[in-house]
Homo-oligomer: A and B are copies of this chain.
């Protein structure tokens, strides 16, 4: 009788970076972000975080800083700083929530809304030029795949032990 267990060559486990999903996503995302930010970074002197804060505040006026942090999956420190700068440049207003005086109530000012109205279409146009590479079926498939991955990524994040010595 032959050996019951075939001699299992230990897999070389070469990580083919160019096929590795996390790498491809990161590379794609960075390139896209750079492409979009090119449309506002210099024109309006906005950082990526500042632009995101504007986009969220434009869509959900009256949100607190924490609300923006959650909506945008942003860091609370960078949101705090972005809001301060935007308020300083009169692109946003910040008031204290009378219901809960720890919270701020954030809204775009008229100038902020003007910038939002100018940048948002450019961002959407960039997205459209990108998505033009896909037919409707492919878009739908991408959409669903990204949603599923996002859900799974969040689950894996939850599952991760706090400290792994």
Partner of A156, one of B14, B23, B35, B73: B35
* Cβ-closest chain B residue relative to A48: B26
**Number of copies of this chain that the complex holds:** 2
Q: Does A58 contact B (CB under 8 A)?
A: yes
Q: Does A42 contact B (CB under 8 A)?
A: yes
Beta-carbon contact of A130 and B152 below 8 Å = yes
CA distance A107 to B66 in the complex (A): 46
B residues near A21, Cβ cutoff 8 Å: 32, 127, 130-131
Beta-carbon contact of B138 and A25 below 8 Å = no
Give the bracket for the number of chain A residues in contact with chain B.
35 or more
B residues near A117, Cβ cutoff 8 Å: 13
Q: Does A124 contact B (CB under 8 A)?
A: yes
Partner-binding segment picked from A1-9, A84-92, A97-105, A140-148: A140-148
Task: Give the B-binding residues of A (Cβ under 8 A).
Answer: 13-18, 20-36, 38-39, 42-43, 52, 55-56, 58-59, 71-73, 117, 120-121, 123-124, 126-127, 129-134, 138-139, 141-142, 144-146, 148-154, 156-157, 160, 163-165
